[in-house]
Chain A
Amino acid sequence: VLIVPILFIIAFDELKTDYKNPIDQCNTLNPVSYMIKNSSLFTFINNFCYLVLPEYLIHAFFCVMFLCAAEWLTLGLNMPLLAYHIWRYMSRPVMSGPGLYDPTTIMNADILAYCQKEGWCKLAFYLLSFFYYLYGMIYVLVSS
């Protein structure tokens, strides 16, 4: 039950790096050639779009699992994030496909900073909950 967060973290780490890299890339994009690698930002946005929804779904899946296992405390810890995810997805910009980030506004300094902060906070949360789940699992194994 509790092993999957690893995957999750890896996925999110990936997400994280995916997220960080293109930005840095854009910042330091070789200014010699003015013509930019057109693709970098676009691919980044696309990747990101594809990763957002799985993340949310996996997290929702975990919540359901906790619910089934009657892990009320864990569920309680995860509820705020779930609620946040739902809110976030409801208030996403007008978009036909799945996704959260609008390539035309992502470069706005405020939005960018917000997304980055969000990423770090979530990473910390997932990391902590991963160890908590690990602890829980070992505790269960040992005590049984």
Chain B
Amino acid sequence: MSAPAGIPPRPAAAPGGARAPAARPRAPPCRNGPVQSQVHFPSGYSLNPENYSAPSTHYPQVPHEAIPSQLDNQYIADYHSACYSVPAQSVMTHSIGPGMLNTQQLYGGAPHPVESSGGLLQEAVSSASHLHTSVPQSYSAMSSHYISSTSSSVASQGFPLSSGHYAMPSVSSAVYPHLSYPAMSIGSPYRQVLTSQSLPAVGQFKETNAFPGQSTIVPRTLQQQVTLGYNSTSWSTSDFQSAQENLSRNHTGSVAKASNQINTVGIVDSSHPVNQNVQFTKPGVETSVSSVVTSSVRTPAADHLIEPASVPSSTQPPESLLQEAIDSSSTTSSASPVTNNYDALEGGGYPETDSATSSPAPPPQISRNTKPFGYGYPTLQPGYQNATLPTSAMQPSNPGHQSGFQQYPQYPGVNQLSSSLGGLSLQHSQQPESLRPVNLIQERNILPVSPVLAPVPNLNSDLRKLNCNPDSFRCTLTNIPQTQALLNKAKLPLGLLLHPFRDLTQLPVITSSTIVRCRSCRTYINPFVSFIDQRRWKCNLCYRVNDVPEEFMYNPLTRSYGEPHKRPEVQNSTVEFIASSDYMLRPPQPAVYLFVLDVSHNAVEAGYLTIVCQSLLENLDKLPGDSRTRIGFVTFDSTVQFYNLQEGLSQPQMLIVSDIDDIFLPTPDSLLVNLHESKELIKDLLNALPNMFTNTRETHSALGPALQAAFKLMSPTGGRISVFQSQLPSLGAGLLHSREDPNQRSSTKVVQHLGPATDFYKKLALDCSGQQTAVDLFLLSSQYSDLASLACMSKYSAGCIYYYPSFHHSHNPTQAEKLQKDLKRYFTRKIGFEAVMRIRCTKGLSIHTFHGNFFVRSTDLLSLANVNPDAGFAVQMSIEESLTDTSLVCFQTALLYTSSKGERRIRVHTLCLPVVTSLADVYAGADVQAAVCLLANMAVDRSVSSSLSDARDALVNAVVDSLSAYISSASNLQQSTLIAPNSLKLFPLYVLALLKQKAFRTGTSTRLDDRVYAMCQIKSQPLGHLMKMIHPNLYRIDRLTDEGAIHVNDRVVPQPPLQKLSAEKLTREGAFLMDCGSIFYIWIGKNCDNSFIKDVLGYPNYASVPQKLTQLPELDTLSSERARSFISWLRDSRPLSPVLQVIKDESPAKTDFFHHLIEDRTEAAFSYYEFLVHIQQQICK
């Protein structure tokens, strides 16, 4: 029944009834089932015969199972041998030089006096960065390996803690072969590496051996930024940033330590903002380093001190790599295609800023032992303070620094306070900045000029330094109230905002045979546990005392024994473990991708197929995965078409199943094929697909049956299903009817149909979730498609949802461009399979509700079939028992997933927050952005389960309640004015913005799908993106200056002040940029300066600017350059590249723009001032 090639692509219809139950074809020869037709390719596609040859490349087959560690090396080598610059592992002094070339590393060890005669050099730190052209996931590997190279001397282990410990080099790496220490967070850990205890004894030893105790290790880590995924050209170059720390120690009796952080910049892709911090640190660092070097190095080690960052990563020291080095370097790829400059921003720089901010702390504080629970850091020698000096010294020299790094604010009040008090509770003698009362009604300019920063928990500086990055883990209250009663009094929501799988630029990856966890609550050991003595630690969540396993006593970082508190697990609040087979129920699954494409008339007309196929073709090699990666395609209209891509076929075969009531798979095994083996067939199919259905007249859409088939196809392995749908499903299971009444769009009354119409998609999602399959939905429709029902398939299977209203490839180029960009990110971003996430918290706290896309499997466990780096989660917490017996609470999320390379990994984040007893402290620690995001999530739930107006009332009440509670608690304030603490001064503004957000607005015409999509986004976006959606940033861009500009990759990025979102700020003479997260609007006033239009937009005058302009031309003028660098800087800070839309004052699109000016009055909603007055009235009631 196969159609001869040459006839129209598909047979008109398949004999649906042909399938006899018994004849369900299970093997290709059995043709009486589904129709098989040869896909006919337009001639152009068949011209490349050579491509039909079997895949020539050999892909090493790697055993499925947990790969034993020995295999690891092999495994990795297979994959990465091509281009990765291996962490050179220096074993002996003399071997170091050349091998290190590409690691761009400042060897931490540099300052160590190394005596070649002694024959031991001890530091092998290296990091590798390998960017792959061939592997989709580029590895930003930073690994530093601490392998003690043994000298000729004793190979003994288990040293006593005393001076003998300097003999440590002899502990060979073999002892702990699997510990890799990649990318330690730069600052703090290393400074504390040494204990002073052994120093005196060793003095002599050191002198002779030139082996500083500390020489034990100084790993530095290279951190690297991988090209942003969007920039494929840069894959092969070494484009990374290396951040290193230098621990230099001078062992002359007095312990003088200098620790420097160094960032050397690689050739960085010009679009990387990453290096902005780098820029400024560089000069200072280099000088300081070199001085250190000169003073302390007495060996050839200097050779590799500073390597030019530009060494191409392809140079590879072939033999100098130890196995472990390979191992570690490959396992440490933390952030794969780091498309996210945003992350790069903080990820790359934070430890540094951190240390910079903390460095001003007075010396006494550093050595003070304020750790709770008796946790004592090793006493820090006086030298420690010296160590921080260079860093702090750098700070003044970089004016751009703070402004560029908004993530790490300096909160002068809190900071100072905590540093002077040791910081567990606020003192009222000095009112912190965050409590300064602000009169909201009088304060005209409530919006700060620079972006709002996350508040820093009021912890002592040691803990603060160790705490989790607020971009990954944020709490709405950085001071946790002691009791539920106090929380109720404060009327603020308590919850966590998580972005657990964020692209990180540096992440310590630990390969250890035992993962140390609490025996009763299974908490992973973290920086906030307390060590009771050498052998025991006390869990910070359940307070159980646990033993420290033998292996944990050894610190591969310092190669010393008996210092469990210096292990990377205890020095970093974000770590990743390579899990053993205990963490698997089955062998790690391969990456499996299935594409389910709508090919009905509607879809073909919209022309999305070309974009999808083209984009997939371009990114086929970058799909994350290993040699086992599998891929498949299913298309559907009123029937379901499968594609046999079995290796060896001359061209793809289409198999049509028209029995949509009882869908079955026409062949069991050749529909999902190995990507590498059948690559040519896949390419042929992708080239042919867009043209295969051009003349289709089929308008029906059998989405439900296609999904059932997809589920059957995926259930043996699990993986990812990407569904592209362009209309309301109209056939078979899961068919939907239009529920929207267009006349009700702008109704201020009841908005109905926010919930699903059928539970078909939910059930399907739960089935998929059970089989570790996630469904991602791309909805590209021009009419109502009942997203509320369709979205269920992604919501409960941990997928993601993209919606392109009125998509058309030529009529709506903005959406087409957006789809293209989103797809690029979608195909290349990191992915984790068969994941589960558990959130643990200190006893007394409990989890109330989860928000996000997942299935909740138990009270603290989320089942995530797939996890992607753009997914955010929110968690509501409640306080069940009062927290009287503790001064700190901790939250820990552990995300267990299978990487695309088939490794089981656990990413652990730990956040530590202080407990407070007074209401004022609770307000002082409120994180208004997190609170608003959590409220938005709660409001979505409320509007689905109850009604939209309920949700809106609840939002307003949240503001009213919290502010009135504050006013009544602060007795000295006048009751009649509307006062808010400084920490909450933006609360009313943000809530007003939420009320005017598409999801919650009333009175303005909003299509139901748009509204539902906005709700889906609120539920699944991480905080940073959500905030831009709620409250866009507005900048004036026609007069950009270099004042306060920051430097990124040799480019100057101007930093215009934020404008408030009000038409009063818009002048006809100006041009404004609004950053709404997923879209940028540039609004041009009527009388806009002609020079701006000419220099930036490239048109002679205002009248000649076209209505639909989506790009800024590259003009060689200063103002154009500034505008473009500013926009690309904003763009780089988020994973989904936003589209740009230029709006003229009179263009119809300007209503979109004006909807975002939330401080203004609209017919249906308050202006900001009116809203404040309204709140005040409510309070006074």
- Chain A residues with a Cβ under 8 A of chain B: 23, 26-27, 29, 31-36, 38, 41-42, 93-96, 103-104, 107-110, 112
A and B contact pairs by CB, cutoff 8 A, 25 listed: A26-B857, A26-B858, A26-B861, A31-B522, A31-B838, A32-B522, A34-B838, A35-B836, A36-B836, A38-B770, A42-B766, A94-B756, A94-B758, A95-B759, A96-B759, A96-B760, A103-B855, A104-B856, A107-B856, A107-B858, A108-B849, A108-B856, A109-B848, A109-B849, A110-B849
CA distance A33 to B585 in the complex (A): 8
A109 engages B846 (CB within 8 Å):
yes
A27 engages B859 (CB within 8 Å):
yes
Report which residue of A34, A36, A107 has the largest number of chain B beta carbons within 10 angstroms of its beta carbon: A34
CA distance A42 to B857 in the complex (A): 9
A35 engages B585 (CB within 8 Å):
yes
CA distance A42 to B855 in the complex (A): 11
CA distance A73 to B366 in the complex (A): 77
CB distance from B66 to the nearest CB of A (A): 13
In the complex, chain B residues whose CB is within 8 Å of the CB of A108: 848-849, 856
Nearest first, the 8 closest Cβ-Cβ pairs linking A and B are A26-B858, A31-B522, A35-B585, A107-B856, A109-B848, A34-B896, A95-B759, A108-B849
Interface check B863, CB cutoff 8 A? yes
Q: A26-B858, A108-B848 are in contact. List 7 more A-B contacts (CB 8 A).
A: A35-B583, A41-B857, A41-B858, A95-B759, A96-B759, A107-B857, A108-B849
CA distance A110 to B763 in the complex (A): 23
CA distance A104 to B764 in the complex (A): 12
In the complex, chain A residues whose CB is within 8 Å of the CB of B762: 104
A34 engages B836 (CB within 8 Å):
yes
CA distance A107 to B760 in the complex (A): 20
In the complex, chain B residues whose CB is within 8 Å of the CB of A112: 859
CB distance from B858 to the nearest CB of A (A): 3
CA distance A33 to B856 in the complex (A): 17
CA distance A95 to B759 in the complex (A): 5
Q: Interface on chain A toward B: helix, strand, loop, or mixed SS?
A: loop
CB distance from B544 to the nearest CB of A (A): 13
CB distance from B795 to the nearest CB of A (A): 8
Interface check B584, CB cutoff 8 A? yes
B window 544-583: CB within 8 A of A: 582-583
- Chain B residues with a Cβ under 8 A of chain A: 521-522, 582-585, 755-760, 762-763, 766, 770, 796, 836, 838, 846-850, 855-859, 861, 863, 878, 894, 896, 906
CA distance A36 to B584 in the complex (A): 10
CB distance from A14 to the nearest CB of B (A): 22
CA distance A41 to B857 in the complex (A): 7
CA distance A18 to B762 in the complex (A): 24
A107 engages B756 (CB within 8 Å):
no
In the complex, chain B residues whose CB is within 8 Å of the CB of A110: 848-849
CB distance from A39 to the nearest CB of B (A): 9
In the complex, chain A residues whose CB is within 8 Å of the CB of B796: 104
A96 engages B763 (CB within 8 Å):
yes
CB distance from A30 to the nearest CB of B (A): 9
CA distance A112 to B878 in the complex (A): 14
A42 engages B770 (CB within 8 Å):
yes
Q: Which residue in A26, A103, A109 is a CB contact (below 8 Å) of B766?
A: A103
**Can you name the residue of chain B whose Cβ is closest to the Cβ of A35?**
B585
Q: Which residue in B582, B766, B896 is a CB contact (below 8 Å) of A104?
A: B766
In the complex, chain A residues whose CB is within 8 Å of the CB of B906: 34
In the complex, chain A residues whose CB is within 8 Å of the CB of B863: 36
In the complex, chain B residues whose CB is within 8 Å of the CB of A32: 522, 582
CA distance A41 to B878 in the complex (A): 23
CA distance A27 to B863 in the complex (A): 15
Report which residue of B585, B756, B770 has the largest number of chain A beta carbons within 10 angstroms of its beta carbon: B585
In the complex, chain B residues whose CB is within 8 Å of the CB of A104: 762, 766, 796, 855-856
CA distance A50 to B47 in the complex (A): 61
In the complex, chain B residues whose CB is within 8 Å of the CB of A107: 850, 856-859
Q: With A107-B856, A109-B848 in contact, do A36 and B756 touch (Cβ < 8 Å)?
A: no
B766 engages A36 (CB within 8 Å):
no
CA distance A41 to B861 in the complex (A): 12
In the complex, chain B residues whose CB is within 8 Å of the CB of A35: 583-585, 836
CA distance A32 to B760 in the complex (A): 34
CA distance A96 to B585 in the complex (A): 32
A109 engages B847 (CB within 8 Å):
yes
CA distance A95 to B896 in the complex (A): 32
**Can you name the residue of chain A whose Cβ is closest to the Cβ of B585?**
A35
B849 engages A29 (CB within 8 Å):
no
In the complex, chain B residues whose CB is within 8 Å of the CB of A94: 755-759
A33 engages B582 (CB within 8 Å):
yes
**Can you name the residue of chain B whose Cβ is closest to the Cβ of A34?**
B896
In the complex, chain B residues whose CB is within 8 Å of the CB of A103: 766, 855
CA distance A104 to B861 in the complex (A): 13
In the complex, chain B residues whose CB is within 8 Å of the CB of A31: 521-522, 838
**Can you name the residue of chain B whose Cβ is closest to the Cβ of A23?**
B859
In the complex, chain B residues whose CB is within 8 Å of the CB of A42: 766, 770
Q: Which residue in B758, B770, B855, B858 is a CB contact (below 8 Å) of A27?
A: B858
CA distance A108 to B756 in the complex (A): 19
In the complex, chain A residues whose CB is within 8 Å of the CB of B849: 108-110
A96 engages B521 (CB within 8 Å):
no
CA distance A108 to B755 in the complex (A): 17
**Can you name the residue of chain B whose Cβ is closest to the Cβ of A107?**
B856
In the complex, chain B residues whose CB is within 8 Å of the CB of A109: 846-849, 859, 878
CA distance A29 to B894 in the complex (A): 16
CB distance from B908 to the nearest CB of A (A): 12
Q: With A26-B858, A104-B796 in contact, do A34 and B583 touch (Cβ < 8 Å)?
A: yes
CB distance from A37 to the nearest CB of B (A): 9
Q: Which residue in B522, B763, B847, B861 is a CB contact (below 8 Å) of A36?
A: B861
CB distance from A48 to the nearest CB of B (A): 15
